[in-house]
Structure 1
């Protein structure tokens, strides 16, 4: 059967759309995140498993079932001096991450401002935030040859071409005693999706949503004794 140009073109478009929908909007960046000093002691952290951060610590003696309230501190910005993002933009991003974390935890916990029994404290620092190069990112997402080259770069370096990314450090402590209950370090980069290719900060915002969702789910599981 002879295929005309329109049929082939439509088939190509459908195939490309399926690829974009199936791709994660962000993924782990294989390059280890730099230690900002926010966590102080990093010696207890171990390499995270599947679906976890790059580095993770869970206090084996912590009883997460004992907590039903949480203080969420404002997110600090501790990006290196090499960061090209203006301080005001970093401040706005930190506020956005804080909002997402509070919105997710509010589904399971009472959000409070005062330490007390049954209250844990969550503190986080944004240690890296990098814009995508939106125009080039869109081209290397849509054009098959350019997308292939971007994929090869990811195999070699851990990230696609022209995407954005972010790093974060987080700790959970008992609000009364200051005992460390958990801590983590993670770094994520944008995936090649149409949704994330047209706005400079979209990859970073998607990483924020991922972290907020993961944190809420992990606490939910530990609170249930899992």
Structure 2
């Protein structure tokens, strides 16, 4: 609706001048709302899918909880973005066509235990277990008992820090605040695209022979969220999708943890497929 501007008149007609400001504001609001809606719908459509570059490895945050047998021998793993691994070079993984995923353990610091709701923790552990099953099932039989030909996968979550959603919202609401946020990763000793309040997830994992219980390989990694992430090498469409997913994940407490679980599940499946000479999925 147009309104008359008080005290002003149209020189040509002598009638009160009509202000178009409300109409312009309404148009701007509609435009902004449309952009926000596009981001929201685009982000939510992929929130449970593969994470890609939404999380990134941070070797400085890798834990040494005592879960693994030998930490000094861990080296950067092929095909990873920073995970540390060791594998017995004499073991032929083609001998293993079945996998046992044991109950996922959680070992957190006292302050982290208080910050994680038990209901959320169970949901996260269940999510990770299901993601591993989904990634490994196409190439290996999932079993519940150890034995010959069974690869046993033991996992301990050693770091779980939720995203501080209120701070993410505040950083986005401040005009041009996202510019400072996008550059705050390196300034705070974190990878590019991350910010100090984004979630962190740490893991230590062990691969054992299902018959002898001998350790075949070990890995450790720490993934942190990237609110400003884009896989440029994957093309414009994929880069946009990654950016939207990373951005939308910053507004959910545990979204980056689920992203990390998806990423690890796919990396484990892909690496095992290469070592076993089969198609990963």
Unaligned runs of 5+ in 2: 1-24, 44-51, 228-245
Task: Give CA-to-partner distance per residue, 1:123-154, whole Å, 9 cap, x none.
Answer: 10111111111232244357673222223321
Q: Deviations over 1:179-214 (max 9, x none)?
A: 222111010111113320221110111111111111
The worse-fitting range, judged by mean Cα deviation, of 179-188 and 141-150 is: 141-150
2:267 to 200, 214, 219: 214
Shift of 1:113: 1.4
* Greater C-alpha radius of gyration: 2
Structure 1: stretches of 5+ with no match in the other structure? none
CA distance in 2: counterparts of 1:109 and 1:225, whole angstroms: 10
Deviation at 1:27, TM superposition (A): 1.2
When residues 90 and 45 of structure 1 are mapped into structure 2, their CA distance, relative to the original with a 3 A threshold, is same
Distance in 1, Cα, partners of 2:175 & 2:58 = 23
Distance 1:175 1:200, change over 3 A: same
Equivalent of 1:197 in 250, 254, 257: 250
Q: Which of 8, 31, 53 is equivalent to 1:24?
A: 53
Work out the CA distance in 2 between the residues paired with 1:49 and 1:116.
28
Deviates more, 1:65-74 or 1:161-170: 161-170
Instruction: Give the whole-Å Cα distance in 1 for the aligned partners of 2:148 and 2:263.
Output: 29
Residue 47 in 1 paired to residue 100 in 2?
no
Asked if residue 114 in structure 1 is aligned to residue 145 in structure 2, the reply is yes
TM-score normalised over the length of structure 2? 0.68
Distance in 2 separating the partners of 1:181 and 1:53: 20
Q: Distance in 2 between matches of 1:40 and 1:25?
A: 30
Secondary structure of 2:176's counterpart equals helix
TM-score, normalised by the number of residues in structure 1: 0.83
60-69 or 139-148: bigger deviation? 139-148
Would you say the 8 A contact 2:63–2:220 is kept in 1? no
SS at match of 2:258: helix
Correspondence 1:86 to 2:117: yes
Whether 1:95 aligns to 2:126 is: yes
Contact 2:59 2:221 in 1 (8 A): no
Q: What SS does the corresponding residue of 2:110 show, helix, strand or coil? A: coil
- C-alpha separation between the residues in 2 aligned to 1:178 and 1:143? 55
Contact 2:108/2:160 (CA < 8 Å) preserved in 1?
Answer: yes
